[in-house]
């Protein structure tokens, strides 16, 4: 996918992404590949102007890093910058996206599941 994105061949990127099983990415030991895949998908979604899909991809990255065990978490995100950036991107992309039912659901999800993370992030807490 990296090569296809570098060539700016976004049609092939979409074809490749559909051939990858999202269900199997949730298996233990594939967390690093899952994060890399969703980073590539974020690039694709932003190019195609699918803002909510890009937000969901960043949410998946954030959840993957935060739900990992302590040792794996240090390996995936040693400084904590990746999860912080993914969370900030997730919130900003949800806020910027067009108004629809899916956005409302994500805003409620932000309020319920990520309230503590929003409080810890002073920059985002001002906007939500």
pLDDT digits (tens, 9 = 90+) for 54-71: 999 999 999 999 888 888
Q: Which of 112, 113, 91 is nearest to 103 (CA)?
A: 91
Which pTM does this prediction carry?
0.87
pLDDT tens digits for range 9-41 = 889 999 989 998 888 888 888 899 999 999 999
State how far the Cα of 15 lies from the Cα of 123, in Å rounded to an integer: 37
Q: Domains in the chain: how many in total?
A: 1
CB 87 within 8 A of CB 93: no
Count of beta carbons in the 10 Å neighbourhood of residue 75: 12
pLDDT tens digits for range 76-97 = 888 888 888 999 999 999 999 9
Q: Could you tell me the residue range of the domain that residue 95 belongs to? A: 2-125
């Amino acid at each position: 996918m990296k090569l296809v994105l570098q060539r700016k061949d976004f049609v092939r990127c979409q074809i490749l992404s559909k051939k990858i099983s999202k269900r199997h990415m949730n298996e233990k030991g594939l967390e690093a590949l899952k994060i890399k895949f969703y980073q590539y998908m974020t690039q694709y979604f932003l190019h195609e102007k699918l803002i909510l899909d890009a937000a969901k991809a960043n949410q998946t990255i954030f959840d993957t890093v935060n739900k990992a065990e302590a040792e794996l978490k240090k390996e995936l995100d040693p400084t904590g910058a990746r999860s912080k950036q993914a969370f900030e991107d997730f919130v900003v992309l949800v806020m910027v996206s067009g108004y629809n039912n899916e956005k409302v659901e994500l805003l409620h999800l932000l309020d319920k599941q990520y309230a503590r993370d929003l409080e810890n992030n002073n920059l985002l807490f001002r906007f939500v």
